[in-house]
Amino acid sequence: MANKAYQRTYTHLSAITKATVSLDATHVANDELASVDGRLAQVVKTRGGNVTLQVFSGTEGIPTDAEVSFLGAPPSLKVGEQLSGRFFNAYGAPIDGGPEVEGEEREIGGPSVNPYKRRQPSELIPTGIAGIDLNNTLVSGQKIPFFADPDQPYNKVMADVALRADVDKIILGGMGLSNDDYLFFRQQFEAAGALDRIVCFINTTENPPVERLLIPDMALTAAEYFAVDKNEKVLVLLTDMTLYADALSIVSNRMDQIPSKDSMPGSLYSDLAKIYEKAVQLPSGGSITIIAVTTLNDGDITHAIPDNTGYITEGQLFLRADSDSGCVIVDPFRSLSRLKQLVQGKKTREDHSQVMNAGVRLYADAQNAKTKLENGFDLSDYDLRCLDYAKEYAKRLLSIDVNIRIDEMLDTAWELFGKYFSPAETGIKQALVDKYWKGK
């Protein structure tokens, strides 16, 4: 700090709320960081000579004569190859006992990619999970959340996906992660020997909630470094975005903003879009793919958080427990990957999209048969075959425990079709039936 003389220190707060403090100060820049009684804070509002600061770790115990000094810059992260294999807190400080990272300091929450300079995503990301690869294929540069109730094993699925995906870097942004889950991720990454390609930014439930607001921007600044500067394929995992949105609502509430639906701030859509839209396929070959988790309340996707998310992301992966097969499955009806047609049949086998559609359609017929059964109507032979098919389909393909290659998924589907149905009942194009049909 060459111009230390310019460091401005104040010692009189004019107002304190649970998340913010206000004081009279001059020459304060919007978004600038400050230290309030030793805690990190950021300028969120200037009115006349009065400045409001959002104190990330909360204002408990801050006195009105607390020392406030402005740091002259917005939040930033030092980027460099040394980020690999490291664990950081929301401020980008190491929490793994390692040394500080040396590198170029970059502002977080930087500018957007010019949409004209983007490329259309076209590379498949295989995960081994058929509920994803077969029915909702992921593409690099895509942004997609898991929609799951809190009791679903979404963190495990996400760790599996990350470790199986063929990417250069995995960046984990953990928001409100329980300490157990944090240790789980750590142990999984270590066990897989993948630590050298992982960067983690962690805010656990033990940390103050408002700090979470920094996590996605930190993770994505690191991601942009690897994708833009190093032309790498980067996968960013964000869990749990619902807790991020909750933190947004806390801050907007403290700032007396009028809430919109579900007491979320009116800017929720833009706030979430700013994060998710960082997913990109760059012309240079680098890419950022975002897989997030949005926890639901009892499967309710009309709540403002999943609803706004659904309008922003390119589909969603819906996890649910399936009582027929006893597995947790990727729900084929409510899940969707909007980019799947960019790779299906192009980067995968020609029969991919027809097999996918037939599989889901027959599974839907099984659900109708189930409803009939529950309502006490008689079942036809076709209905019974559908029910048997559904059980095996759920277990062998929809379950999140599956880990096979896409060709094997397709072969398994053909095997099930052959076992339970006639070619006409599947409605698949004749040319493909001639080539791939198994059995009768």
Partner 1 sequence: MATTGKVTGIVSNLVTVQVDGPVAENELCYVYLGDTPLLAEVIKVSGNNASVQVFESTRGLQGGDKVEFLGRMLEVTLGPGLLSGTYDGLENNLATMEGVFLKRGEYTAPLDKKKKWDFKPLAAAGDKVVAASWLGEVKEGWLPHKIMVPFSFKGEYTVGSIAPEGSYTIEETIAILIDEEGTQVPVTMTQKWPAKIAIKAYREKPRPQKIMETGVRVIDSFNPIAEGGTGFIPGPFGCGKTVLQHAIAKQGEADVIVMAACGERANEVVEIFTEFPELVDPHTGRKLMERTTIICNTSNMPVAAREASVYTAMTICEYYRAMGLRCLLLADSTSRWAQALREMSNRMEELPGADAFPVDLSAIISNFYARAGMVILNNGERGSVTFIGTVSPAGGNLKEPVTESTKKAARCFYALEQNRADQKRYPAVNPIDSYSKYLEYPEICEWLNARIEEGWVDNVLKAKNYVRRGREMADQINILGDDGVPVSYHEAYWKSELIDFAFLQQDAFDSIDALCPMERQKYMLDLLLQICDKEFHFDDYEKCRSFFKELINTLRQMNYSEWESEDFCKYQGEIKKRLSENGK
Residues contributing to the site for partner 1 (CB under 8 A): 26-32, 44-49, 74, 107, 109-121, 141, 228, 257-261, 266-267, 269-270, 273-274, 277-278, 280, 282-283, 302-304, 307-308, 310-312, 314-315, 333, 336, 339, 341, 361, 364, 375, 377
Our CB check for partner 1 shows the closer of 9 and 341 to be: 341
Our CB check for partner 1 shows the closer of 78 and 274 to be: 274
Closest approach of partner 1 to the CB of residue 241, in Å = 15
Our CB check for partner 1 shows the closer of 164 and 347 to be: 347
Closest approach of partner 1 to the CB of residue 75, in Å = 10
Contact 276, 313 (CB under 8 A): yes
Our CB check for partner 1 shows the closer of 95 and 336 to be: 336
Closest approach of partner 1 to the CB of residue 76, in Å = 12
In whole angstroms, what is the distance from residue 265 CA to residue 285 CA? 36
In whole angstroms, what is the distance from residue 174 CA to residue 207 CA? 11
Contact 257, 96 (CB under 8 A): no
Our CB check for partner 1 shows the closer of 200 and 398 to be: 398
Continuous H helices in 289-405:
304-312, 352-374, 381-393
Closest approach of partner 1 to the CB of residue 146, in Å = 15
Continuous H helices in 129-177:
130-133, 154-164
User: What number of residues does the chain have?
Assistant: 440
Our CB check for partner 1 shows the closer of 133 and 314 to be: 314
Our CB check for partner 1 shows the closer of 74 and 103 to be: 74
Backbone angles phi, psi at 334, to 5 degrees: -95, -5
Closest approach of partner 1 to the CB of residue 190, in Å = 34
Our CB check for partner 1 shows the closer of 14 and 179 to be: 14
In whole angstroms, what is the distance from residue 384 CA to residue 389 CA? 9
Look at the block and give the residue holding tokens 């656990």: 204
Closest approach of partner 1 to the CB of residue 138, in Å = 13
Our CB check for partner 1 shows the closer of 176 and 315 to be: 315
Closest approach of partner 1 to the CB of residue 367, in Å = 11
Closest approach of partner 1 to the CB of residue 245, in Å = 14
Structure tokens at 293: 């988790």
Q: State the sign of the Cα–Cα–Cα–Cα dihedral 66, 67, 73, 77.
A: negative
Closest approach of partner 1 to the CB of residue 159, in Å = 26
Closest approach of partner 1 to the CB of residue 107, in Å = 8
Closest approach of partner 1 to the CB of residue 265, in Å = 8
Longest Cα pair distance anywhere in the chain, in angstroms? 86
Our CB check for partner 1 shows the closer of 159 and 213 to be: 213
- In sequence order, the β-bridge partners of residue 203 are 175
In whole angstroms, what is the distance from residue 109 CA to residue 185 CA? 25
Our CB check for partner 1 shows the closer of 75 and 173 to be: 75
Q: State the sign of the Cα–Cα–Cα–Cα dihedral 349, 351, 356, 362.
A: negative
**Where are the strands (E) in 137-214, listed by range?**
138-139, 143-148, 169-177, 198-204
In whole angstroms, what is the distance from residue 247 CA to residue 243 CA? 6
CA distances for 204 relative to 90, 135, 178, 279, angstroms: 10, 33, 5, 24
Contacts 24+ apart (CB under 8 A), 297-301: 297/149, 298/149, 299/149, 301/147, 301/334
Contact 150, 299 (CB under 8 A): no
Contact 169, 317 (CB under 8 A): no
